[in-house]
Amino acid sequence: MGTVIDSHFLALTAIVTIGYQFVFFVITALLKFDKVTDFAGSTNFIILAILTLVLKGAWYFRQVVLTCLVAVWGLRLAIFLLSRILQWGEDRRFDEMRSSLGKLAVFWTFQAVWVWTVSLPVTVVNASERNPYLQTEDVVGWIMWCVGFIVEGTADQQKLNFKSSPENRGKWCAVGLWKYSRHPNYFGEILLWWGIFVGSAPVLHGAEWLVIFGPIFLTLLLLFVSGLPLLEESADKKYGNVEAYRIYKRRTSPLIPLLPSVYGSLPLWFKTYFLFELPLYNRNLPQEGLN
């Protein structure tokens, strides 16, 4: 089949994303039901990947592989997040939004931008006529995705198991991968989407390289906006006066998994510039915890 609306499916995927997110926005606004929020975001990725693959109709091996990787990631995340929120019963992110239609609209608009932007690499690959032989970038990208997927899935399950245990109520998670990173799930997600980009590199040409904005946008979003800053602030407010937590934070990398003995011995300037230990993540920590 030929391309639809535009040669790279950019307009098509934007329209589909806006429409899909708008439906769930209406459900949330009218029914005050926000348990489907993360499900809507994750499944939107699957829809865009499969839709562009089918509409183009080329079915090149690289296109099929990248589409499957996105679909597997989206399906795993959608099922996990939906089951988690149904188990927990509420999403605290929406405590201040439920009564404000404007704030709710901003959130859903931002989610649509997130989905469309991060999907850019697979969207452009699926729309492309080029089909070079498999290259090193393909294999490296797929390996990055596999490692990131395993890390994210394992970290999510470990934290869910930890928080589901009554004996851990009121404690922070420092088991499994969480011993080596304060946010291993975000490390996995960033790694796997950079893997999707690397795997798309053999196809990209000219202005198509701008799809690198997808993984860059995701990385900046998690590092500076809705990921680490919010969770670090929440944890610091809860446990900032607990000595064991302050020790954990000093000895545990914020993102990239490292042995605590190694990370704890590194100078602060190295942690700041190379390991993302940003001052932003310590604004709510008592000063004695910053030694």
d(CA 286, CA 246): 9
Cβ atoms of 3 and 56 closer than 8 Å: yes
By CB atoms closer than 10 A (0-12, 13-18, 19+), residue 152 is buried
d(CA 145, CA 69): 8
Per-residue pLDDT of the chain (291 residues; tens, 9 = 90+): 445 447 899 999 999 999 999 999 998 888 777 788 889 999 999 999 999 999 999 999 999 999 999 999 999 999 999 888 887 666 666 556 656 778 888 899 999 999 999 999 999 999 999 999 999 999 999 999 999 999 999 999 999 999 988 898 889 999 999 999 999 999 999 999 999 999 999 999 999 999 999 999 999 999 999 899 999 999 999 999 999 999 999 999 999 999 999 999 999 999 999 999 999 999 888 765 444
Distance of CA 45 to the CA centre of its chain: 12
pLDDT confidence of residue 4: 46
> Does the model's pTM come out above 0.85?
yes
Report helix angle 213-224 to 101-118, nearest 10: 140
pLDDT confidence of residue 291: 41
Report helix angle 101-118 to 120-127, nearest 10: 50
